[in-house]
Amino acid sequence: MTTEPLAPGKRDPEARRLAILRAAAEIIVTRGPGALTHRAVASQAGVALGSTTQYFASIDELREAAFVVLAEEVDASLASFAPHLPTMLADPAGVIDEVLNYLNDARAVSADIALLSSATTEPRLLELALRWTDKLIDMLSAHIGHDRAEAVATYIDGATIQAGLRPESVTREGVTLALTSLAGIHTSSHPTSTTGHPPEKSDA
């Protein structure tokens, strides 16, 4: 996240717009959606107050645009599940690693929580908030059926909340037990036996 200080006065609309968006997303994630103000964003982005109003007609528009950015970030996390799904039933360790990766990514977790909770009172955000859950269900359905896919997705939502509130409560054992139970996978060995490769994630 190189938020380049963005030379003041310099003309670079694209970069400026992006800097503002990033700053808004950052504030939502770290201080909550209630802390999102023009001035806070301007300060965080290192731009003048006027710039925030120039690029986004209203604070609501800015907020929604920031949520789109966050949704895309979460989507990106989701994409890393995909390669492991085909072999999931035979070897769940891969998906579980990815799920843990996601749950340990404090930023993604906070982004997801902000999105989900804001959508509760703002219907405009509903589709955005549900997008990744629905994609996950779609992806899983092909392998474990729709019902179990839904159960797994719901569990991961819950795990996201827990990860946001007390990260230390998220353990490989816990996630393994839950996912294998819900997906209908029955391991012959104990869940804790996987000490495989910690998957490298190419930065998106």
Partner DNA sequence: AATGTACATGTACATAAGTACAGAAACGGA
Partner DNA sequence: TCCGTTTCTGTACTTATGTACATGTACATT
Residues forming contacts to DNA in the complex (CB under 7 A) are 8-13, 16, 36-40, 47-54, 57-60
Opening angle at CA 121, ends 115 and 125, nearest 5? 45
Number of residues that bind its own copies (CB under 8 A): 49
Looking at the Cβ atoms of 47 and 116, the one nearer to its own copies is: 116
Binding flag, residue 61, its own copies (CB under 8 A): no
Of the candidate residues 3, 58, 104, 169, the single one contacting its own copies (CB under 8 A): 169
Of the candidate residues 19, 114, 136, 140, the single one contacting its own copies (CB under 8 A): 114
- Tokens 């749950």 belong to residue: 103
Residues 6+ apart with CB under 8 A from 8: 46, 47, 48
Answer with the entry of DNA, its own copies, none that 190 interacts with (C-beta below 5 to 8 A by kind).
none
Looking at the Cβ atoms of 87 and 169, the one nearer to its own copies is: 169
CB of 126 vs its own copies, minimal distance in Å: 6
Opening angle at CA 202, ends 198 and 204, nearest 5? 135
Alpha-carbon gap, residue 68 to 85, rounded angstroms: 26
Secondary structure of residue 203 in the 3-state scheme: coil
